[in-house]
């Protein structure tokens, strides 16, 4: 390399310094822009691993009368992709935050139009009924679905035990309100506590189920521990989680989502491929684990069992 | 001006392109490793949508930044950022098409019946002529005034994009609100700057005369 007299005003005489500076600026810009865009846009989900060690696969047991034959959603996915706004609005929030929920001690208030209003400990409540397995489809209003092996007891058994009075027409469910345990409740994304409801005849249907376990394990926090509803012919948001109160009422309860967006989330919320959500079609759904979509079935495939509950009801208006 | 004696920032263009497209590589990697979670299609849809808006806002910020600071480098990366935004919009639309199983009827129904989809599709359609007239010779061929007028559509596209994001969010509109405020602020800055320039040179046609010393504004 030829040595030339130094002149700091001429850039080309310091080729190495110029190169280094430009290379640094180049790398810095790539990292800054790329990293910034990543920070703005990336929302990594919990990795969809296989089944966790220790999980029980209910594949071996014979199918019960209410089960579906669909392949079961892997435990890792069923517990990492959840809507549970009490923990946060992102699908990954519930799994991340569920540690803040303490499910023991836990009591459930049973009241309203019943002969025996009472507050009962969750373990006592559970001991009242023989626990059974149910493999249910779960269809979210957002257009995705899972197949969930619940463990629990029929809601009808609990309601009969509450001894409804003749005035009881509806069942109102209330979820826990405790911003210390539910960080999502510190904002006002929804009107807390979360409230859901069923007509009494819907609640007494043998498919309506109270779950305390999932896939042979105690129900995880993100899936609604320690007690949640599972009404498989309705969109998922009807199946309220972390229930602390069950009240029989004379009037139709005001439910959280139907108050938040009455044009989008009705009281009935029966899975119905013929009635679109205002922002998307409900005709198809993605089963979690699939890349493509499948056709959504009326009443989520439970039409034979439940369609008679709605004869004479216009399901376009009563969506 | 200082910039005249500096090296011509040859690294800047490639750095912006590589940096701007880095999220595509991360997205592909995430898809491979399963880091997109249980519903990867939906997650990719969301991420490419946010990337479209973010890069579009960056490209919109270039001209105000240049005018306010006197730096010339923002003008050199504006086109690249705009084209990257268009690419993300295409990717976003492509994933949506894939999600719908490429069934044209469903897509048509969506575009016609659902304002949420109509807004997003409208934004993409508006970006198309801008991308097609981003070639070197386009300004000359169209004429500066017409090219500038056409490229003002970018604000409409950005507005529709924000609306699409807003309607797509079920609850908590914080993020769409941030993009809405950014686009609105950038638009206001542009209007104020144009007014100030207009005070000195009232007729819009005379802006052509000023163009010899400043790059075309979008």
Q: A8-310 falls under which CATH superfamily?
A: Oxidoreductase, molybdopterin-binding domain (3.90.420.10)
Longest CA–CA span in chain A (Å) reads: 105
Beta bridge partners of A152: A132, A211
What is the average pLDDT value for chain A, to the nearest integer? 90
Confidence band for B3, pLDDT divided at 50, 70 and 90: very low
Residue B59 scores a pLDDT above 50: yes
Beta strands A195-199 and A294-295, pairing class: unpaired
Look at residue A55 in the predicted model and tell me its pLDDT.
44
Residue A142 scores a pLDDT above 80: yes
Region of residue B110 (phi > 0: left; psi between -120 and 50: alpha; otherwise: beta) = alpha
User: Which three-class secondary structure state does DSSP give residue A149?
Assistant: strand
Look at residue A243 in the predicted model and tell me its pLDDT.
98
Return all residues near A262 (Cβ < 8 A) that are at least 6 apart.
Answer: none
Nearest to A60 by CA among A153, A130, A133, A131: A133
pLDDT digits (tens, 9 = 90+) for A269-293: 999 999 999 889 999 999 999 999 9
CA A240 to CA A233: how far, in whole Å?
A: 14
pLDDT digits (tens, 9 = 90+) for B84-130: 999 999 999 999 999 998 888 889 999 999 999 999 999 999 999 99
pLDDT digits (tens, 9 = 90+) for A228-267: 999 999 999 999 999 999 999 999 999 999 999 988 899 9
**Helix, strand, coil share of chain B (percent; to 5):** 80, 0, 20
In angstroms, the Cα distances linking A202 to A128, A209, B60 are: 22, 11, 54
Mean pLDDT value of segment A107-116? 96
More confident residue, A16 or A179: A179
Nearest to A287 by CA among A78, A79, A133, A80: A78
Residue position matching structure tokens 């926090």 = A221
For B23-31, the CB contacts below 8 A with 24+ separation are B23/A34, B23/A37, B23/A38, B23/A41, B23/A42, B23/B47, B23/B51, B24/B91, B26/A38, B26/A42, B30/A42, B30/A44
Domain map (residue ranges) of chain A: 8-310
Residue A306 scores a pLDDT above 50: yes
Residue position matching structure tokens 């070639």 = B135
Look at residue B4 in the predicted model and tell me its pLDDT.
47
More confident residue, A195 or B195: A195
Pick the residue of A15, A17, A30 with the most B CBs within 10 A to test the interface with B by mutation.
A30
**Would an 8 Å CB–CB cutoff place A276 in contact with chain B?**
yes
How many CB contacts within 8 angstroms connect chain A with chain B?
140
Look at residue A248 in the predicted model and tell me its pLDDT.
98
Residue B155 scores a pLDDT above 60: yes
Is A223 within any annotated ligand binding site? yes
Q: CA nearest B172 in A: which residue?
A: A189
**Would an 8 Å CB–CB cutoff place A31 in contact with chain B?**
yes
Beta strands A107-112 and A118-121, pairing class: antiparallel
Contact B15 A29 (CB under 8 A): yes
Look at residue A58 in the predicted model and tell me its pLDDT.
61
Q: Which residues from B are below 8 Å from A279, CB to CB?
A: 114, 116-117, 167-168
CA A261 to CA A259: how far, in whole Å?
A: 6
pTM: 0.82
Q: Which residues from A are below 8 Å from B3, CB to CB?
A: none
CA B180 to CA B174: how far, in whole Å?
A: 10
Confidence band for A180, pLDDT divided at 50, 70 and 90: very high
């Amino acid at each position: 390399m030829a040595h030339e007299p130094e002149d700091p005003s001429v850039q080309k005489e310091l080729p190495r310094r110029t190169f280094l500076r430009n290379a640094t600026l180049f790398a810095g810009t790539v990292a800054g822009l790329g990293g910034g865009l990543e920070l703005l846009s990336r929302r990594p989900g919990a990795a969809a691993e296989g089944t966790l060690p220790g999980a029980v696969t209910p594949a071996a047991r014979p199918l019960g009368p209410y089960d579906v034959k669909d392949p079961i959603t892997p435990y890792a996915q069923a517990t990492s992709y959840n809507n549970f706004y009490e923990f946060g609005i992102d699908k990954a929030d519930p799994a991340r935050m569920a540690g803040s929920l303490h499910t023991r001690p836990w009591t459930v208030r049973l009241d309203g139009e019943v002969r025996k209003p009472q507050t009962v400990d969750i373990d006592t409540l559970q001991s009242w009924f023989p626990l059974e397995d149910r493999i249910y489809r779960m269809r979210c209003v957002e257009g995705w679905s899972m197949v969930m092996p619940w463990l629990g007891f029929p809601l009808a058994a609990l309601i009969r035990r509450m001894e409804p009075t003749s005035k009881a027409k509806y069942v109102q469910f209330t979820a826990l309100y405790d911003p210390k345990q539910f960080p999502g409740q510190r904002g006002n994304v929804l009107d807390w506590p979360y409230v859901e409801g069923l007509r009494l005849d819907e609640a007494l249907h043998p498919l309506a189920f109270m779950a305390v376990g999932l896939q042979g394990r105690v129900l995880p926090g993100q899936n609604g521990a320690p007690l949640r509803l599972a009404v498989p012919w309705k969109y998922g948001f009807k199946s309220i989680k972390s229930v602390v109160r069950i009240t029989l009422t004379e009037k139709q309860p005001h439910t959280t989502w139907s108050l938040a967006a009455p044009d989008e989330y009705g009281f009935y919320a029966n899975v119905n491929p013929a009635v679109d959500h205002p922002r998307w079609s409900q005709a198809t759904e993605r089963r979690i684990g699939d890349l493509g979509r499948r056709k959504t079935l009326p009443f989520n495939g439970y039409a034979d069992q439940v369609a008679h509950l709605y004869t004479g009801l216009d399901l376009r208006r009563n969506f | 001006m200082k910039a005249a004696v500096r090296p011509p920032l040859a690294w800047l263009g490639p750095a912006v392109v590589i940096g701007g497209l880095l999220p595509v590589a991360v997205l592909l990697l995430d898809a491979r490793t399963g880091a997109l979670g249980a519903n990867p299609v939906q997650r990719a849809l969301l991420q490419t949508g946010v990337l479209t808006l973010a890069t579009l806002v960056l490209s919109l910020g270039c001209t105000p930044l240049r005018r306010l600071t006197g730096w010339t480098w923002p003008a050199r990366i504006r086109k690249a950022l705009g084209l990257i935004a268009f690419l993300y919009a295409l990717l976003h639309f492509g994933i949506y098409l894939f999600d719908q199983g490429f069934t044209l009827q469903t897509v048509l129904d969506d575009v016609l019946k659902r304002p949420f989809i109509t807004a997003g599709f409208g934004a993409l359609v508006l970006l198309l002529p801008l991308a097609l007239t981003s070639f070197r010779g386009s300004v000359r061929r169209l004429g500066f005034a017409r090219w500038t007028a056409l490229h003002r559509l970018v604000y409409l596209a950005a507005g529709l994009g924000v609306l699409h994001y807003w309607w797509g969010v079920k609850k908590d509109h914080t993020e769409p609100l941030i993009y809405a405020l950014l686009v609105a602020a950038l638009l206001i800055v542009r209007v104020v700057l144009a007014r100030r320039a207009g005070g000195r040179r009232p007729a819009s046609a005379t802006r052509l005369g000023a163009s010899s010393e400043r790059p075309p504004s979008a």
